[in-house]
Chain A
Amino acid sequence: NAGVTQTPKFRILKIGQSMTLQCTQDMNHNYMYWYRQDPGMGLKLIYYSVGAGITDKGEVPNGYNVSRSTTEDFPLRLELAAPSQTSVYFCASSTGGAGTGELFFGEGSRLTVL
């Protein structure tokens, strides 16, 4: 199984550009999450989804949007990129909620906004 797959792995954006980070999982997990990781700051939750058609904001949702039209896919959209969005982004999925079991992570997408 591929698990959780993220694309692209690396991307450089100019200020004001937009892009979508793709995330797909083949484990039929209901729960999916987007985190950003900044040095010394741990992981911050951006958005999450408990099933197809349902999304909710996490701790740091400003400047991002998500959709969940299928169980497998959970893309993260960055609108009007800003230098503060330079980070490593991780998508994760789980069978039950993250607070009850194991999260499965993708390998990350490193985004630089210049």
Chain B
Amino acid sequence: AQSVAQPEDQVNVAEGNPLTVKCTYSVSGNPYLFWYVQYPNRGLQFLLKYITGDNLVKGSYGFEAEFNKSQTSFHLKKPSALVSDSALYFCAVRDMNRDDKIIFGKGTRLHILP
């Protein structure tokens, strides 16, 4: 069965430092991968996706993600963290049996310390 794992419940990073939020996946075939962000008391917002092509995907708010097929990972990165990046981040993968469904990870809470 396909799945995504976010191994860290929480990540703390000092403002200005680079940040990484980890995601690994398990699917048969080529994965379609997504990152979403949730700010407090709001719905999720799309950040970026990988379907095919360049392994480094650029998204909203200066975020990027690196697809690594050999390590089955899709880590979210940003070169310099902002306090306003503090939020809950979800990795997701397409259900390989249905194009119309995705499977979300449990989420990683990112705290950017001033």
Residues of A whose CB lies within 8 Å of any CB of B are 4, 31, 40-43, 45, 48, 50, 58, 90, 92, 96-108
Q: Does B17 touch A at the CB level, under 8 Å?
A: no
**How far, in whole Å, are A48 and B44 apart by their CA atoms in the complex?**
17
Q: A100 CB to closest chain B CB, in angstroms?
A: 6
Instruction: List 20 additional A-B contacts (Cβ < 8 Å) besides A90-B43, A97-B101, A105-B43.
Output: A31-B100, A40-B9, A40-B106, A42-B90, A43-B44, A43-B90, A92-B44, A97-B98, A97-B100, A99-B95, A99-B100, A99-B101, A99-B102, A100-B51, A102-B49, A103-B36, A106-B43, A107-B41, A108-B42, A108-B43
Q: Does B63 touch A at the CB level, under 8 Å?
A: no
Q: A58 CB to closest chain B CB, in angstroms?
A: 7
Q: Known: A107-B41, A107-B42. Is A101-B107 also a contact (CB below 8 A)? A: no
Q: Is the CB of A101 within 8 A of B49?
A: yes
